[in-house]
């Protein structure tokens, strides 16, 4: 069974999806980490981030690996922390925008999501990667709250810079951020993580029982 968790940056996807996977005993797949890893590798190798063809080729030749929970590898390097750097935050939408890159990533995501039960987190999971997902959730939160959460994750960056980054990222992600028609929207602005996880777990149990 696939549980798709989509939504904008800072809506609580990672926290919720990870906790949900633990609660349900499902695997967890972070598709944002895959775009981040490719961006890191492309920057490392001084690729032109506007060259869709070269980036798609790079993605094909260097599949992102998740050898153990929460570790992300690409091109023989553990990039778990480097992919969370501000420079990657800024460039990842540029890389994720190319359809040729997305094709490669989506194929890989479908492959990784094929076996067993998995919670998949991203932007286009319920719409494109796994339109048949058993449960689809679209998380949202006020922009102010999302900026606050980002600040807690990125203590080294100023509030203004973060707010600008978030706005630019929202604009650039917007085309991919449409919720699936059959997704359940949850506004996490004033909800505890546990409450959100409870709600989604209940949806999964309903599905399993049906
Ligand atoms: O969720 P995140 O911040 O780690 O995502 C990083 C970037 O990757 C973000 O700019 C949106 C993009 N992304 C995407 O286009 N499609 C996905 N399925 C997941 C992430």
Mean pLDDT of each 10-residue bin along the chain, 210 residues long: 94 95 96 98 98 98 91 97 93 95 97 93 96 97 88 78 80 78 96 97 93
Whole-number pLDDT of residue 172: 76
Total structural domains within the chain = 2
Last residue of a domain, one of 99, 116, 133: 116
Is residue 207 in a domain?
Answer: no
Whether residue 144 is found in the same domain as residue 193: yes
Whether residue 89 is found in the same domain as residue 57: yes
Whether residue 193 is found in the same domain as residue 132: yes
3-state helix, strand, coil in the chain (%, to 5): 55, 15, 30
- Ligand 1 proximal residues by C-beta, below 6 Å: 9, 31-32, 35-36, 92-93, 96, 122-124, 169, 173, 176
The model scores a pTM over 0.85:
yes
The boundaries of the domain holding residue 167 are 1-26+117-200
Question: For atom 10 of ligand 1, which residue has the closest CA?
Answer: 93
Last residue of a domain, one of 68, 84, 116: 116
Whole-number pLDDT of residue 1: 96
Whole-number pLDDT of residue 92: 94
Last residue of a domain, one of 67, 90, 116: 116
Whether residue 94 is found in the same domain as residue 140: no
Whether residue 1 is found in the same domain as residue 50: no
Whole-number pLDDT of residue 167: 83
What's phi and psi for 123, nearest 5 deg? Answer: -120, -35
Distances (CA, A) of 145 to 28, 141, 150: 25, 7, 9
Whether residue 82 is found in the same domain as residue 182: no
User: What's the CA angle centered on 179, arms 177 and 185, to 5 degrees?
Assistant: 120
């Amino acid at each position: 069974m696939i549980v798709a968790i989509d939504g904008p940056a800072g809506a609580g996807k990672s926290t919720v999806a990870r906790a949900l996977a633990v609660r349900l005993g499902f695997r967890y797949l972070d598709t944002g980490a895959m775009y981040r890893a490719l961006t890191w590798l492309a920057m490392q190798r001084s690729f032109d981030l506007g060259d869709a063809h070269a980036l798609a080729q790079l993605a094909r030749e260097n599949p992102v690996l998740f050898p153990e929970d929460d570790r992300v590898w690409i091109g023989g390097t553990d990039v778990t922390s480097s992919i969370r750097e501000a420079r990657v935050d800024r460039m990842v939408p540029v890389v994720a925008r190319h359809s040729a890159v997305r094709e490669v990533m989506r194929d890989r995501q479908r492959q990784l999501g094929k076996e067993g039960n998995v919670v998949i987190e991203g932007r286009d999971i319920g719409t494109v990667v796994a339109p048949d997902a058993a449960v689809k959730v679209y998380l949202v939160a006020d922009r102010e709250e999302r900026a606050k959460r980002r600040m807690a994750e990125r203590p080294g960056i100023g509030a203004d810079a973060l707010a600008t980054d978030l706005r630019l990222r929202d604009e650039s992600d917007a085309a991919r951020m449409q919720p699936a028609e059959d997704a359940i929207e949850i506004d996490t602005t004033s909800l505890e993580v546990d409450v959100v996880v409870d709600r989604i777990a209940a949806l999964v149990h309903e599905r399993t029982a049906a």
